[in-house]
Structure 1
Amino acid sequence: MTDRLGPGDVAPAFTLTDADGNQVSLADYAGGKVIVYFYPAAMTPGCTTQAIDFTAAVDDLDSAGLAVVGISPDSPDKLAQFKTAQSVAFPLLADPDKETLTAYGAFGSKMLYGKLVEGVIRSTFVVDVADDGTGTVAVAQYNVKASGHVDKLKRDLKI
């Protein structure tokens, strides 16, 4: 099993390329809070649902002081296509080496259709980012459902 993070744990730092070719780091959110969610693959039904739901909630989340970033093992080019096709309103980051996915416990063994496989574990974290750019996990959710997850997260966060 992959090590999992929980509230109070140090959030692993990252710098990844987004859909527009820019470098985005956890430290870019210094002094704020960011929802970091991990999803298996752009342009698949569940991941599309989740991206659309996060996009629809961006204003509410922003009003609550929360930014959003999505991370998958897809290439920046594929993420750019996905972002354009779905009008995604937040950064989509590429982690093709799965280093950040693994550091957050969002890549490893999981059950898929009754079989144990290695892959992305759909996961969501709320990270408090200190002024110095270091992060602390406030919320860690693993094996979340694509459909309805954003509404549940908003309820959990009282937004």
Structure 2
Amino acid sequence: MKNLDSLWMAHEQLLVTKLSGDVTIPDIEKWETSLYKALDAIGDGGQFKILVDLFGFSAINVDAHKRYREIIPRTLADYGWRVGYLDMFQEANGLLLTSKRGIRCVAAAHVHQDATKIEKYQSLYGTEWEQFFTDPLQAREWIAQLAV
């Protein structure tokens, strides 16, 4: 079953975005649109936390994988956030962080089912404000308790 949705929860200052199932490039584009709509709902000068839930995500081919993999890092850079795992990629060294409409991302939780990858990311890039999970509920609990 596919999930291609994003939701802004103003009362928690939390944006939850989910991409799961066997997805195509049109699916990824639909998900990306939902992410931008949710970000548009955040008031100018605001702050937000994000839960990026990719549990159950599988790109149907290499092109779909390439299309999705830049969306979160590039989008969060527009809100002053550098995703920790970008340190693995030399080409990401020049990524410019900005503050679109004065909005800033202040924390991120990432979820994926690949335990080997997530354990590596957590050990290398996990911080007080960014964590990596294989369990969506644990990720939700962690990010919810962070004060913005």
**Structure that is richer in helix per residue:** 2
**Structure that is richer in strand per residue:** 1
Of structures 1 and 2, the one scoring higher in RCO (CA 8 A, sep 6+) is 1
TM norm structure 2: 0.33
TM norm structure 1: 0.31
